[in-house]
Amino acid sequence: MESPSNVLIFDTPEQLALAAAEKFVEYAHDATGDRGLFTVALAGGNTPMRVYELLATDRFSNRIAWPQVHLFFGDERCVPPDHPESNYAMAYEMMISRVAIPAKNVHRIIGEGNPTDSARLYEEQLRTFFAGLAWPRFNLVWLGMGEDGHTASLFPNTESLKEESRWVLTTKRPQLEQDRVTLTAPVFNQAAHVVFLVTGKEKAARLAEVLHGPSGPDRLPAQLVRPVDGTLEWLCDREAAAKL
């Protein structure tokens, strides 16, 4: 079946990462051009690592007005900011520590401490930053997809999928019982651009279900992401797209 126009398939993860980095530059240019700021919610996990690494290279970094960029996180594991599991630690290592972004422009989720307090604090910070808006409108949201169809820390068959008013929640990664803090689906759906990054053959079956299967967002939380006034793009490598 022909993939919808919003699914872009790349021969290799490297080509996907290069295209994703170009999109970051493009969307940053569009946003900083007319409103002066570029607000991004970063994805965690492994897939975006190379994108962040590329963004820190001269090829891309010199084309980004970092003082106008504000980096947020789509979710965080409840661990310290220097922990190997921390999404902040990964983004800091691969990109933030290597580019001229002012520290005040990096808005990390407090992974250490009480998850409920961290979620409440992050929502307060977002409501302050996006003051006056019923919902935050990120210029760009990066997302990944787990083999179970989760995205950010919105896991299958959890109450978090039904949230309609809060911007930030605590969740638990199933099996691991790992505490998480996550933005909610309504927040992602207010973004101007949402880009999923999906690679690897282990995700091929689930990706086909999410994109072409029947609607079942409780079982496939990635299906919840449908921007109400924005674009949705899926950047996949050939392995992940093998069943599309």
Interface with ligand 6PG (CB under 6 A): 43-47, 74-75, 87, 144-146, 150-153
Which residue, 128 or 175, is less far from ligand 6PG as judged by CB?
Answer: 175
Which residue, 46 or 62, is less far from ligand 6PG as judged by CB?
Answer: 46
What letter would DSSP give residue 154?
Answer: B
Give phi and psi for 64, each to the nearest 5.
Answer: -120, 130
Spatial contact of 62 and 100, defined as CB atoms under 8 Å apart: no
Shortest distance (Å) from residue 139 CB to ligand 6PG: 19
Spatial contact of 43 and 152, defined as CB atoms under 8 Å apart: yes
Rg, Å, the chain Cα set: 17
Spatial contact of 206 and 145, defined as CB atoms under 8 Å apart: yes
Shortest distance (Å) from residue 109 CB to ligand 6PG: 10
Q: For 123, what's the count of Cα atoms within 13 Å in the CB-facing half-sphere?
A: 18
Which residue, 31 or 181, is less far from ligand 6PG as judged by CB?
Answer: 181
Residue nearest ligand 6PG (C-beta atom): 144
Shortest distance (Å) from residue 54 CB to ligand 6PG: 16
Which residue, 31 or 109, is less far from ligand 6PG as judged by CB?
Answer: 109
